[in-house]
Amino acid sequence: MKTKIIVLSAAVLGILAPAASAQQSTVNGAAGGAVTGAIVGGPVGAAVGGVVGAVAGTAIDPPPQRVVSYVETAPAPASPVVVKEKIVVGKPIPQSVVLTPVPDSPKYAYAVVNEQRVIVDPQTRTVVQVVQ
């Protein structure tokens, strides 16, 4: 019985490992969750903890303060952009919104949408932070 549980746990973690390696925070979350789960619930706990940790580890990391400071002081575009969708951290920004790269920080871009400055991952168009 224990052998089946160990094999099942290894299979679940083996399936999740390639997806988890796509993002460092996900890897840390999966590993931390697996370790905690193993301590609490043995092999089954490791599998469950790894899944929960991977999900929790995908939380959006905030951008560095220098990026936030730049976006706060950068000039706003000449024409305001208004969209019907609510701008939410972790969700993609509409394709109609033009992104402006943040100098010296290729991982970030920004836009002013609905009179809010937002920092975005330009590759995925995911909102990283709404600047208040």
Residue-wise pLDDT for 60-100, tens only, equals 788 999 999 999 999 887 777 999 989 999 999 999 999 99
Quick check: 12 pLDDT over 70?
A: no
pLDDT the model gives residue 84: 93
> What is residue 107's DSSP assignment?
E
Residue-wise pLDDT for 13-39, tens only, equals 455 444 443 444 444 455 555 555 556
pLDDT the model gives residue 101: 94
* 98, 110 contact by CB (below 8 A): no
Domain boundaries, the chain: 2-57, 65-131
Amino acid at the residue 129: Q
Q: Which is it for the CA torsion 21, 55, 84, 115, positive or negative?
A: negative
Query: Model-level pTM?
Result: 0.56
